[in-house]
């Protein structure tokens, strides 16, 4: 504990000295979320993280999350140095959507507007008309449908299917999935609901359809937190990465939070309700960024410029 306290205090000092801001996703370790908030940084969903990084005046950003979040920050703020505690922290959606394969898919459907989820590489975003996150995908696709557009969507098939169902848009879906949310199970969730009949069920839209169908609220991580804080229920069943429970408990200490059931349990299933890549973010990694400039994110300028357009379009839409 004393070693941890020493690291935390050194990080706090270096954040100030180096004009750096720490921004964290809700799925990373609670200590890192607390540190971000205590030092004037931010804890947020992926859309809010992108906006925070762009608007903050610090010269250096430390992004505690997964690779695409660091890349998005760099694309939006090329004048800043952007660091990540572990550059190997990726995402199954990003891994499952290779830029060259995506280019072939896109070339087969030139009549479609290309909408990609934030959870992709800069090289995939460089090929897109729109980037969306789970908090704005519905509104953006709804507008595209009103404009008469047909859509090519990548990579999350569950989120894509949900948006298609909600908007009625013509969407062609890439076949990707999040290894964490894909593990939530509907039959077990129904049983859990039956034993907690007054609980409100909150589901992230990267979950399978049968799980989403049982939800009272379907939304991004921020939307799920808002539902717990504002909700009148006393119990909530939460179907997303368990890292989110830390912030939910802080903001709604009197509410009972119950983890939604997954295919395995934590002893047998590494990705069950906790993202192995989000878990790679540690205090030591943050200290290394500040002390040795390790974990810096670079995006080649031609890719950055192309990817910037689809991200800015989203930020303008959601202003």
Number of residues that bind ligand 13P (CB under 6 A): 10
Candidate list 275, 286, 290, 311; residue touching ligand SF4; CB under 6 A: 275
Q: Are 32 and 283 in contact (CB under 8 A)?
A: yes
Q: Which of residues 212-251 bind ligand SF4 (CB under 6 A)?
A: 241
Q: How far is CA 298 from CA 44, 46, 78, 147, 281, in A?
A: 23, 19, 9, 36, 19
For ligand 13P, the closer of residues 77 and 134 by Cβ is: 134
Q: Which of residues 73-92 bind ligand SF4 (CB under 6 A)?
A: 91-92
Q: How far is it, in rounded angstroms, from Cα 249 to Cα 29?
A: 14
CA dihedral sign of residues 92, 202, 65, 162: positive
Stretch 257-276: interaction string toward ligand 13P, x if CB under 6 A: --------------------
The reply to whether omega before 25 is within 30° of 0 (cis) is: no
Q: How far is it, in rounded angstroms, from Cα 44 to Cα 33?
A: 9
Q: Which of residues 171-190 bind ligand 13P (CB under 6 A)?
A: 178
220 binds ligand 13P (CB under 6 A): yes
Stretch 107-126: interaction string toward ligand 13P, x if CB under 6 A: ------------x-------
Q: Which of residues 2-61 bind ligand 13P (CB under 6 A)?
A: 45-46
Place of tokens 């569950």: 158
Number of residues that bind ligand SF4 (CB under 6 A): 13
Q: Are 237 and 201 in contact (CB under 8 A)?
A: yes
134 binds ligand 13P (CB under 6 A): yes
By CB under 6 A, name the binding residues for ligand 13P. 45-46, 119, 133-135, 178, 206, 220-221
């Amino acid at each position: 504990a004393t070693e941890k306290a020493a690291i935390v205090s050194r990080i706090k000092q270096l954040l100030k000295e180096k004009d750096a801001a720490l921004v964290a996703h809700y799925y990373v370790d609670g200590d890192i979320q607390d540190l971000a908030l205590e030092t004037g940084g931010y804890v947020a969903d992926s859309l809010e993280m992108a906006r925070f990084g762009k608007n903050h005046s610090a010269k250096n950003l430390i992004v505690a999350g997964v690779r695409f979040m660091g890349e998005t920050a760099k694309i939006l703020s090329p004048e800043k140095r952007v660091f990540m505690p572990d550059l190997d922290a990726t995402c199954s959606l990003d891994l499952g959507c290779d830029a060259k394969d995506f280019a072939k898919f896109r070339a087969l459907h030139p009549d479609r507007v290309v909408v990609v989820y934030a959870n992709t590489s800069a090289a995939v975003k460089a090929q897109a008309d729109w980037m969306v996150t789970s908090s704005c995908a519905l509104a953006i696709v709804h507008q595209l449908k009103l404009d008469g557009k047909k859509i090519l969507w990548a990579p999350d098939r569950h989120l894509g299917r949900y948006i298609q169902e909600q908007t009625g848009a013509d969407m062609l879906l890439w076949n990707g999935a999040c290894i964490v949310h894909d593990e939530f199970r509907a039959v077990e969730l129904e049983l859990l609901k039956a034993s907690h009949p007054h609980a409100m069920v909150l589901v992230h839209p990267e979950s399978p359809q049968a799980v989403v169908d049982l939800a009272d609220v379907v939304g991004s991580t921020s939307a799920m937190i808002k539902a717990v804080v504002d909700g009148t229920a006393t119990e909530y069943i939460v179907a997303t990465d368990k890292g989110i429970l830390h912030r939910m408990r802080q903001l709604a200490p009197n509410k009972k939070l119950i983890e939604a059931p997954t295919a395995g349990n934590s002893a047998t299933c590494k990705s069950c309700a906790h993202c192995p890549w989000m878990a790679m973010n540690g205090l030591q990694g943050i200290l290394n960024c500040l002390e040795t400039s390790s974990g810096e994110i670079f995006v080649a300028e031609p890719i950055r410029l192309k990817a910037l357009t689809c991200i800015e379009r989203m930020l303008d839409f959601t202003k």
